[in-house]
Amino acid sequence: MKTIATKSLPEGYILARTLDLRQTKNLILVNIIGVILLIASWIAFAGLANALHPGSMNFSFSSANLGGALLLLLTIVIVMIVMLVVHEGFHGLCFWIFTKTRPLFAFKGYYAYAAAPDWYLPKGKYLITGLAPLVGITAICVALMAVLPAWWMSPLVWMLVLNTSGACGDLWMVYGLLRSPSDVLARDKGDVLEFYAR
């Protein structure tokens, strides 16, 4: 069983499966998963914030509170930009650690990605790479929620919600990987993931 990343496909390995985000049906499926994750994570993380800091996630909008609504919108936009950079940075860091080469970063308009298109990663290493942003950002933000004052709850909750829902493509690819043999190799081209098996 292959345990290190390689640029050369081992003898006897062939392309076994492809997960392609450029295909409309796959993109629709991933977006449906994203909406479900968005709703579930909002309920969970806003509830956690209110449990730690009662009333910190209570919002009310009116014409008299237009400034508050604009501030919330600005917060969401800033958090989204930061989340994209940090999320893809986690993937990129893992690719760099496992391949010792600089990963490829790209933004496609409606999604961003980090990739290592010239490398074949073993199952375990690709699982770490795929789940790193979801696990890492969640752990950091939840820890910060416990120690920071109440006014930090809104940006932290939005970071958690956007990161969790934004991980829908990662989770879809990880699900495909978990259904693959233990000696599978994953080649991540960003919007296409190829699985190679014996």
pLDDT, residue 169, reads: 87
**Which of 101, 110, 102, 99 lies closest to 185, judged by CA?**
99
pLDDT, residue 196, reads: 96
Question: Going by C-beta distance under 8 Å and a sequence separation of 6 or more, which residues neighbour residue 151?
Answer: 56
Residue 7 located in a structural domain: no
Residue 8 located in a structural domain: no
d(CA 159, CA 82): 8
Q: What is the pLDDT of residues 28-69, one digit of tens each?
A: 998 899 999 999 999 999 999 999 999 888 765 555 677 777
Domain count, the chain: 1
pLDDT, residue 107, reads: 83
d(CA 114, CA 116): 7
Its pTM stands at 0.88
Q: Which residue ranges of the chain lie beneath pLDDT 70?
A: 1-2, 59-64, 109-110
Residue 58 located in a structural domain: no
d(CA 128, CA 61): 41
Residue 19 located in a structural domain: yes
Tokens of 170: 């990662």
Q: Give the residue numbers spanning the domain of 142.
A: 14-52+65-197
Residue 57 located in a structural domain: no
